[in-house]
């Protein structure tokens, strides 16, 4: 038996042409521990956009029904030589109903069930997925509620685990009004972890304050760094997570940490000896990271990514994290979407202009 | 009994005035485990310049005999509030003869001996120093040969220890033609550690090649990053040490590491999973660090400083390192100087213009 439907693919050619298109696709009967999921909802996360468009010029692209042709900057085209010519399906996560399964009992057990899944090919009518990457949800949970059950929830919980593994006792989070930021706030509230939330508008600040956040700072405030230092002094938060990447956010966090750490201490030409660290886990700003290094010589900036974190954390920690997510899908780990689009609408100029801007609070959900 | 002489001090006032001056000073009979060293030679290291002038405008300063008055930029003045108003002596290390000692047998044992020492106040006729921070040298070793026995040698050995502690197997070093860089090259040659040397002129490249270096790259070469990637591919050097700090050196190292790590691998939107790290251990360029983040999400940039490294390494490792340095003072750990100045000449406009430019191969030695 075979299933027919459509799938979004992205292809970068060596001349810098990026083609994103909807293709007819056929799925075969899954084998072994694989299942076939009829996709019912899939979010567009920043991590998906990095593959879908990367830094291509979507403003000046050619849009036709089910097809986008855009130019990729030369440096980016060169840097992504390994994907030249390949039409890659995508969509990290989503939710749907299992319509077929391989012989493996774990796969068979999922047939007919609604599952949250991580197929990596979720922007499609159907997706093949290992049974181990599918979690069945209660009948009371909708596909929309289950769609974002992996990337954001595991990332938010991963921040907290990272904090504990590295001996820190509080967190700073930038772009804190995002779906991920709201999850992190609810986790920190439940676990009693001091959290300093950094946002970029008074509306976002109000949203988090209404949720009960104790420390909310606007990065556009002229006294931002000084106020951040004050919040760090109160919370001891010496570990930051920054999804912006470009610009001065990481540098400002380290500067504020150093101000808080050195207050009242005797002068040292090398700065304080307090450990200070910022993880960059996204690229909402694709520009370079600017570190002014006005924070002594005891500091660290690194990349943070879910996959290596999971490898480091190990299966026991991950099982505990997954269990917590599935229990709190409609509460702690609830997501909100600005708009819903089908696969064809996903490739329209208006939709792309909005969701590819990666603005906090403007997440799209794909309903294949 | 008391000893009279002169001492260089640096004072930053809250209005941004930096005063560096030669003062008359009196030293008393040392007590306990302290000794008094008549200083005979002391290098001017970049770490000393950070305290002596920091980012003050020495080009437009007022120079009078034994006195410099310069302006410190406002941001730097604010950042160094903890030192406002204090006339601080300085000079991390040097060599001289012990002329008096406290009652402690370890101190008494050094009387009359020539020692390499780390008093923190070496730019002076005399310096008080704990006996534990003095190492007696053979009669055949001159004060000049013993003057730089601590900062550079322990830093170079510290790089190698850090590499081993963190599981890396090769090193990249920027500004590699410096005294420190030459020491590191000789250490790596002896220990069989792959080392990629980055310099900024063909003269510096020739110097290291003549010393037998296998990989020497000129950062001004238009193909620098590609060539660096090639050298990394050959050596597996995924740990860099950068004393420049400002600009793109750390970013270029990480980009080249990523190119080497991802060559021949399937495309991943998140980059390779190979650990890649750069330590910034100086600020030859006081400008911001620019990271273009074209190197995936598995990377790390941090500050490296000798003192916390030593605390982490522990006494056993340090004893072994110190022993190796004292054995190789005139060979592996030999230093070269461009010029010798006395305390008064050290504060002359011509001398400051040259040694405060922090150019590789232009190190000054103070002969108090």
Tens-place pLDDT, residues A134-149: 999 988 999 999 999 9
C-alpha–C-alpha distance, residues B67 and B344, integer Å: 9
Task: List the one residue out of A170, A279, A190, A294 whose CA is nearest residue A232.
Answer: A170
Chain A residue set in contact with B, beta carbons under 8 Å: 47, 50-51, 54, 75, 79-80, 82-83, 86, 245-246, 251, 262, 265-270, 273, 280-281, 283, 288-294, 296-305, 307-308
Alpha carbon separation from B246 to A289, A290, B124, B285, B353 (Å, rounded): 12, 10, 32, 5, 20
C-alpha–C-alpha distance, residues A101 and B277, integer Å: 44
Asked whether residue B359 carries a pLDDT value surpassing 90, the answer given is no
Q: Given A265, A299, A307, which is nearest B82 (Cβ)?
A: A265
Helix axes B151-165, B315-327, angle to 10 degrees: 130
B280/A293 Cβ within 8 A: yes
Model confidence band, residue A227 (pLDDT cutoffs 50, 70, 90): very high
**pLDDT tens digits for range B147-197:** 999 999 999 999 999 999 999 999 999 999 999 999 999 999 999 999 999
CA dihedral A48, A53, A59, A64 (to 10 degrees): -100
**Burial class of B357 by CB neighbour count within 10 A (0 to 12, 13 to 18, 19+):** exposed
Q: Write out chain A residues lying below 8 Å of B51, CB-based.
A: 269
C-alpha–C-alpha distance, residues B53 and B37, integer Å: 25
Q: Write out chain B residues lying below 8 Å of A262, CB-based.
A: 82
Q: Phi and psi of B315, rounded to 5°? A: -60, -35
Q: Phi and psi of B17, rounded to 5°? A: -85, 125
What does the pLDDT read at residue A360?
A: 77
Asked whether residue B361 carries a pLDDT value surpassing 80, the answer given is no
A265/B283 Cβ within 8 A: no
**pLDDT tens digits for range A347-363:** 999 999 999 988 877 89
C-alpha–C-alpha distance, residues A18 and A72, integer Å: 6
What does the pLDDT read at residue B249?
A: 98
Q: Given B246, B298, B308, which is nearest A303 (Cβ)?
A: B298
What does the pLDDT read at residue B79?
A: 82
CA of A269 vs chain B CAs: smallest distance (Å): 6
Q: Write out chain B residues lying below 8 Å of A305, CB-based.
A: 270, 297-298
B294/A293 Cβ within 8 A: no
B18: left (phi over 0), alpha (psi -120 to 50) or beta: beta
CA of A48 vs chain B CAs: smallest distance (Å): 9
What does the pLDDT read at residue A354?
A: 94
* Residue B365 contacts residue B147 (beta carbons within 8 Å): yes
CA of A304 vs chain B CAs: smallest distance (Å): 6
B303/A297 Cβ within 8 A: yes
Count of CB pairs separated by less than 8 Å, A with B: 105
What does the pLDDT read at residue A28?
A: 95
Q: Between residues A294 and B367, which one has the greater pLDDT?
A: B367
CA of A308 vs chain B CAs: smallest distance (Å): 7
Model confidence, pTM: 0.87
Question: Could you tell me what percent of chain A has a pLDDT over 70?
Answer: 100
Nearest CA in chain B to A51: B269
**Burial class of B308 by CB neighbour count within 10 A (0 to 12, 13 to 18, 19+):** middle
Q: Between residues B266 and B190, which one has the greater pLDDT?
A: B190
Asked whether residue A192 carries a pLDDT value surpassing 90, the answer given is yes
Asked whether residue A307 carries a pLDDT value surpassing 90, the answer given is no
**pLDDT tens digits for range B82-122:** 899 999 999 999 999 999 999 999 999 999 999 999 999 99
Q: Given A82, A265, A300, which is nearest B266 (Cβ)?
A: A82
Q: Write out chain A residues lying below 8 Å of B56, CB-based.
A: none
B299/A82 Cβ within 8 A: no
CA of A6 vs chain B CAs: smallest distance (Å): 23
Q: Write out chain A residues lying below 8 Å of B50, CB-based.
A: 269-270
C-alpha–C-alpha distance, residues A309 and A163, integer Å: 12
C-alpha–C-alpha distance, residues B4 and B32, integer Å: 21
DSSP states of B66-87 as a string? TEEEEEPPHHHHHHTGGGBT--
Chain A interface test: which of B121, B245, B267 (most A C-beta within 10 Å) = B267
**pLDDT tens digits for range A51-80:** 999 999 999 999 999 999 999 999 889 888
Q: How many CB atoms lie within 10 A of CB B350?
A: 11
C-alpha–C-alpha distance, residues A144 and A43, integer Å: 9
Complex ipTM: 0.84
Nearest CA in chain B to A289: B291
Strands B300-303 and B277-280: parallel
Q: Given B267, B288, B307, which is nearest A292 (Cβ)?
A: B288
Please state, rounded to an integer, the average pLDDT across all residues of chain B.
95
Q: Which two tokens stand for residue B256?
A: 């080249």
CA of B58 vs chain A CAs: smallest distance (Å): 18
What does the pLDDT read at residue B360?
A: 77
Question: Could you tell me what percent of chain B has a pLDDT over 90?
Answer: 87
Sign of CA pseudo-dihedral B244, B248, B254, B256: negative
**pLDDT tens digits for range A13-27:** 999 999 999 999 999
* Residue A275 contacts residue B311 (beta carbons within 8 Å): no
C-alpha–C-alpha distance, residues A241 and A249, integer Å: 10
Burial code (b: 16+ CB inside 10 Å, e: under 16) for B175-191 equals: bbbbbbbbbbbbbbeee
Model confidence band, residue A267 (pLDDT cutoffs 50, 70, 90): confident
C-alpha–C-alpha distance, residues B355 and B278, integer Å: 27
Highest mean predicted confidence (pLDDT) among A284-288, B197-201, B271-275: B197-201
**pLDDT tens digits for range B1-34:** 799 999 999 999 999 999 999 999 999 999 999 9
A302/B299 Cβ within 8 A: yes
Q: What is the DSSP letter of B60?
A: T
C-alpha–C-alpha distance, residues B63 and A352, integer Å: 63
The full 3-state SS of A70-96, as one line of letters, equals: EECCHHHHHHCHHHECCCEECCCCEEE
A299/B302 Cβ within 8 A: yes
Helix axes A179-191, A202-210, angle to 10 degrees: 40
Model confidence band, residue A268 (pLDDT cutoffs 50, 70, 90): confident
Strands A364-366 and A339-341: parallel
Q: Which two tokens stand for residue B78?
A: 């604010």
What does the pLDDT read at residue A79?
A: 82
B262/A82 Cβ within 8 A: yes
**pLDDT tens digits for range A308-338:** 899 889 989 999 999 999 999 999 999 999 9
**Burial class of B4 by CB neighbour count within 10 A (0 to 12, 13 to 18, 19+):** exposed
Nearest CA in chain A to B297: A303
**pLDDT tens digits for range B219-255:** 999 999 999 999 999 999 999 999 999 999 999 999 9
Asked whether residue A269 carries a pLDDT value surpassing 80, the answer given is no
What does the pLDDT read at residue A358?
A: 81
A288/B82 Cβ within 8 A: no
Q: Write out chain B residues lying below 8 Å of A303, CB-based.
A: 293, 296-300
Q: Please report the beta strands in chain A, taking only residues with DSSP state E, as ranges in sequence order.
A: 2-12, 17-28, 34-43, 62-64, 67-71, 88-89, 94-101, 114-117, 126-130, 134-136, 171-174, 195-199, 215-218, 239-242, 245-247, 277-280, 285-291, 300-303, 339-341, 364-366
A75/B294 Cβ within 8 A: yes
Q: Phi and psi of A190, rounded to 5°? A: -65, -40
């Amino acid at each position: 038996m075979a299933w027919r439907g459509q799938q979004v693919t992205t292809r970068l050619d060596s001349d810098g042409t990026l083609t994103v298109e909807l293709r007819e696709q056929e799925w075969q009967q899954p084998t072994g521990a694989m299942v076939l999921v009829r996709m019912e909802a899939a979010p567009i996360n920043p991590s998906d956009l990095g593959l879908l468009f990367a830094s291509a010029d979507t403003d000046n692209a050619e849009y036709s029904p089910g097809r986008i042709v855009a130019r990729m900057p030369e440096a980016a085209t060169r840097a992504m030589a390994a994907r030249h010519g390949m039409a890659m399906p995508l969509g990290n996560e989503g939710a749907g109903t299992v319509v077929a399964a391989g012989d493996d009992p774990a796969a068979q057990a999922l047939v007919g069930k609604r599952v949250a899944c991580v197929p990596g090919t979720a922007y499609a009518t159907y997706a093949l997925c290992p049974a181990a990457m599918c979690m069945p949800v209660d009948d009371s949970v909708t596909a929309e509620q289950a769609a974002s059950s992996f990337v954001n929830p595991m990332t938010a919980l991963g921040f907290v685990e990272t904090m504990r593994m590295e001996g820190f006792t509080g967190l700073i989070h930038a772009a804190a009004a995002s779906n991920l930021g709201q999850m992190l706030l609810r986790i920190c509230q439940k676990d009693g972890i001091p959290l300093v939330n950094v946002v970029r508008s008074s509306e976002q600040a109000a949203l988090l304050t209404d949720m009960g956040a104790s420390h909310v700072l606007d990065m556009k405030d002229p006294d931002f760094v000084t106020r951040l230092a004050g919040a760090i002094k109160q919370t001891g938060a010496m570990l930051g997570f920054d999804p912006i990447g470009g610009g001065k956010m990481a540098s400002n966090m380290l500067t504020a940490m150093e101000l808080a750490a050195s207050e009242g201490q005797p002068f040292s030409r090398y700065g304080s000896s307090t450990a200070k660290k910022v993880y960059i886990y996204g690229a909402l700003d694709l520009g370079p990271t600017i570190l002014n290094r006005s924070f002594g010589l005891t500091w660290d900036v690194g990349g943070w990514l879910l996959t290596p974190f999971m490898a480091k954390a190990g299966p026991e920690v991950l099982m505990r994290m997954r269990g917590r997510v599935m229990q709190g899908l409609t509460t702690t780990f609830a997501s909100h979407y600005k708009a819903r689009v089908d696969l064809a609408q996903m490739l329209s100029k208006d939709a792309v202009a909005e969701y590819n801007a990666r603005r906090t609070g403007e997440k799209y959900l794909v309903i294949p």
